[in-house]
Chains A and B, each alone.
Chain A
Amino acid sequence: AQSVTQPDIHITVSEGASLELRCNYSYGATPYLFWYVQSPGQGLQLLLKYFSGDTLVQGIKGFEAEFKRSQSSFNLRKPSVHWSDAAEYFCAVGVSDDKIIFGKGTRLHILP
């Protein structure tokens, strides 16, 4: 069955430090992969997406993600976080029948 795993429920980093949020998926075919961010009390906003081609994808707000087929991973990275990045981050996989499966989310806390 298709699934998305975000192994870290909470992550805390200091402002200015680098960030990596992990995401692993289970899907037989080449997946469509997404990262979304949800700020408190808000809807979700797409950070970036991957369908094919270059495995390093650039997104908004300085985020990037790398698709690694051999590891079934799509980790999100940012070289230097800002206090405004504190939010919940969701990895998602789109499957062939137009469904999207979301991970449970990783809540990012930023230390000043």
Chain B
Amino acid sequence: DSGVTQTPKHLITATGQRVTLRCSPRSGDLSVYWYQQSLDQGLQFLIQYYNGEERAKGNILERFSAQQFPDLHSELNLSSLELGDSALYFCASSVDAITDTQYFGPGTRLTVL
């Protein structure tokens, strides 16, 4: 158990819909990272937040957005969903910077029908 929790574990929805994925980091970790893992694209870094502020941005679509709240939990919002958004979405947390060990949550599997 990494100490990072993600809800829900599974999500099935339809094209055009909007969903929210939630992540609670390990106690004491200020950084949260979001990743997308799919068969086509592999593991892709989406975005990083540090103590409530966006710090780094990767291959995140404009339809996707994230935020980190004062209690440090984070949410990833996916809107206007397409079939190709079906993937496993991971959250990871670390103390601070990229040099710190990232601890991954178990992931949320999103299926868009």
Contacts and interface: CB of A to CB of B under 8 A. Distances in A.
Contact of A99 (B45, B97, B101): B45
A46 B55 CA distance: 22
A105 B42 contact: yes
Main secondary structure of the interface of B (DSSP, over half): strand
Interface in A11-47: 32, 42-46
B107 A98 contact: no
B107 to A, nearest CB: 6
Interface size class of A (residues with CB under 8 A): 10 to 19
Given A43-B90, A45-B104, A98 B43 contact: no
B107 A102 contact: no
A104 B104 contact: no
Interface string A66-79: 00000000000000
A29 to B, nearest CB: 13
Contacts of B103: 46
28 contacts: A32-B99, A42-B106, A43-B2, A43-B4, A43-B92, A43-B104, A43-B107, A44-B102, A44-B104, A45-B2, A45-B104, A46-B101, A49-B99, A51-B99, A90-B43, A94-B98, A98-B55, A98-B97, A98-B98, A99-B45, A99-B56, A99-B58, A100-B33, A100-B45, A102-B42, A102-B43, A102-B44, A105-B42
